[in-house]
Structure 1
Amino acid sequence: MNAHDITWHPDEHVRFAAHLDRLRYVAEPHEAALVGDVLTDPDGTMARSAVLRHLDRRAADLHPGPAYEEWARAMTAATADHPFLVRRLREWSLFRAVALGLPWQPDDLLASSHWLQLKTAAGTNTEAVGILAERGRTKRIRDTAGAGLTHGS
């Protein structure tokens, strides 16, 4: 079944749920193809939202392990025509680097989205949290990071 097989139903909420269900249970070898297929849904905003939710779920599960990098490359290729999704994958890779103590650049963190800064501010990397406490994009990010530093000491 592809995205066009379920578009007969005019309710985008039903299609969204169907896309999420298919993405949740897809076998890994077919995941990139299914992501690409979902992105062909006539309601592009809804399709990107379903894929974003899937990417966030899978990245959260995979980021600590070695399978993440190959998965991220495959998903980046599958979403190449969707800049927001590509950026989210790039930010998951930055989050992974920060969380695992891999090399990362403070300027990349400071240029990242509100989503990533807030997620990182609530983390345990004291260098990243300190940077965000001082120079995070919003007061909420700075406060979240500052609270993490206070509770961590």
Structure 2
Amino acid sequence: MNALAASPDEPAEHARFAAHLRELARATDAREPAVVARVLGDPDRTMARSAVLRHLDRRAGDLLAEPGFAVWSEAMTRTVGDDPFLTRRLLEWSLLRAVVRQGPWRPDDLLNASDWLQLRAAATSNAEVLRLLAERGRTRRIRRTAGLNPARSGDD
């Protein structure tokens, strides 16, 4: 049976989504850009983007503390370059990496970032980030998460 074929009770896009996720998970570093590009070529653009987003989030999380993160992120940015949402997500992973590793970052970049990124940054141990988000995070949830983070205690 074709790996992309749906069962009678399952919509075709669900079967393709699952198959895309399996293929992305098995992609070697060298083949990853080609696999991502192929998945993005699926006729169901929303489903394809969702599969690639899930893959990028998994891989970025795995690589966040690794030296190869920047090279991987650049390769993925070139691959998804015409998709503003995926490109922004990769940029936000890079900003989160800077926050986590206490590398250079600008407060305005963090304050202008998505709720997704601010919430993840509020869960880090960077005291400067926690202070900023506790005071000026976009949502009450972000401000509360940053304010209650144990890494912030003793800072005030």
Same fold (TM over 0.5): yes
* Partner-residue secondary structure (3-state), 1:29: coil
What is the one-letter code of the residue matched to 2:99?
V
1:40 is the counterpart of 2:49: no
Match of 1:94 in 2: 95
Q: Is the 8 A contact 2:60 2:93 kept in 1?
A: yes
Give the Cα–Cα distance (whole angstroms) in 1 for the partners of residues 132 and 61 of structure 2. 23
**1:151 Cα deviation from its structure 2 partner:** 6.4
Percent identity of the aligned residues? 56
Gaps of 5+ in 2: none
What is the TM-score when the length of structure 2 is the normalising length? 0.91
Alignment of 1:101-120 (within 5 A): 101-120=102-121
Query: Which structure shows the higher helix fraction?
Result: 1
Give the number of equivalent residue pairs. Answer: 149
What is the one-letter code of the residue matched to 2:135?
E
Query: Which 4+ residue blocks in structure 1 deviate beyond 3 angstroms?
Result: 5-10, 149-153
Gaps of 5+ in 1: none
Superposition RMSD in Å: 1.6
Q: Deviations over 1:36-58 (max 9, x none)?
A: 00000011000000000000000
Give the Cα–Cα distance (whole angstroms) in 2 for the partners of residues 24 and 39 of structure 1. 15
* Partner-residue secondary structure (3-state), 2:31: helix
**1:76 Cα deviation from its structure 2 partner:** 0.1
Higher relative contact order (CA 8 A, sep 6+): 1
Give the Cα–Cα distance (whole angstroms) in 2 for the partners of residues 27 and 17 of structure 1. 18
